[in-house]
Amino acid sequence: MLNDVEIKRYSRQIRLFGEAGQEKLKRTRVFIAGAGGLGSIISIYMAAAGFGRIRIVDCDSVELSNLNRQILHESDDVGRDKALSAYETLTGINPEVEVEALVETISKDNIDNLLQGSDLIMDAMDNFPTRYLLNRACLHRKIPLFHGAISGCQGQATTIIPGKTACLRCIFPRSPPAAIFPALGSTCGVIGSIQVTEAVKYVQGSGELLANRLLLWDGRNACMDEVACERNLGCMDCREMDVNK
């Protein structure tokens, strides 16, 4: 049940999907992998929207060079753990939401524990090896993974529904070479917002998800495009899931 404060706080969303829809968000437990550029947008909008429990994980501390895009953090946070800074910002934005912020490096050893009790996974990572861990965990736990990634003015997003769509490795079979990437904060804004919209639609059971569709954002040319994807029957991650079914 929503309390009176929540009914007022979410009144514009209640116009969109009713009190029942808002309660669905309240019951949803979210795992956000990363409190950087994408993680900032994703966590702020998810907290503001009233997702009931947000667990956000990041192992890094805030650096001055993060502040052009990582709007969870302020100048005074430089040197502090991103997770702690995220906790303060998110609980400040919406005290109705339960926030758990963890200073951890996501690894194959702890991912099961970290995801315990989560209903969906938001990908806000900056590297593919960790994304593949999230992918395998989403397949194993049969919970959706909302993928996003950016570089400069470009970004991509897709929604992975285990058993129904291509998995992340079907689409990206190999990790691109690691490199320091250029980043514009507004590109994180575009892609992170799309990921949150996908999660809201998934919880509400309405709209058309980015299922088997990879959305491509080209900010330089102000162009949004998409390509279709399908499951790769030889995919080392999906195939394994079928074996374990």
Partner 1 sequence: MKIILSDGSRKEMKLDNSCIEEVLKSLGINPVEVIVAKNGKVVSEDETAGSGDELKIVRVVHGG
Contact positions toward partner 1, by CB under 8 A? Answer: 34, 36-39, 123-128, 131, 148-151, 154-156, 166, 171-178, 181, 183, 188, 214, 216, 218, 221, 223, 227-230, 232
**How do beta strands 53-57 and 98-102 pair?**
parallel
The phi, psi pair for 122, rounded to 5°, reads: -105, 120
Measured CA to CA, the distance from residue 234 to residue 226 in angstroms comes to 23
Minimum distance from CB of 15 to partner 1 (Å)?
32
Minimum distance of partner 1 from residue 124's CB (angstroms): 5
C-beta of 25 vs 145, nearer to partner 1 = 145
Contact 172, 123 (CB under 8 A): no
State in angstroms the smallest separation of the CB of 7 from partner 1. 34
Longest dimension (CA), the chain: 52
Smallest distance from the beta carbon of 181 to partner 1, in angstroms? 4
CB of 227 to partner 1, least distance (A): 4
- For residue 69, give both structure tokens: 């895009």
Of 2 and 30, the one with the shorter C-beta distance to partner 1 is 30
Q: What share of the chain is helix, strand, coil (3-state, %, to 5)?
A: 45, 20, 35
Minimum CB distance to partner 1 smaller for 150 or for 203: 150
How does strand 29-33 pair with strand 98-102?
unpaired
Q: Name 157's Cβ contacts closer than 8 Å, sequence gap at least 6.
A: 146, 147, 148, 149, 191, 194, 195, 198, 210, 214, 215, 217
Determine which helix (DSSP H) or strand (DSSP E) holds 60, and give its type and residue range.
Answer: none
- Name residue 23's amino acid: E
* Residue (16 or 223) nearer to partner 1, CB: 223
CB of 83 to partner 1, least distance (A): 15
Nearer to partner 1, 22 or 154 (CB): 154
- With respect to partner 1, which residue has the nearer C-beta, 51 or 128? 128
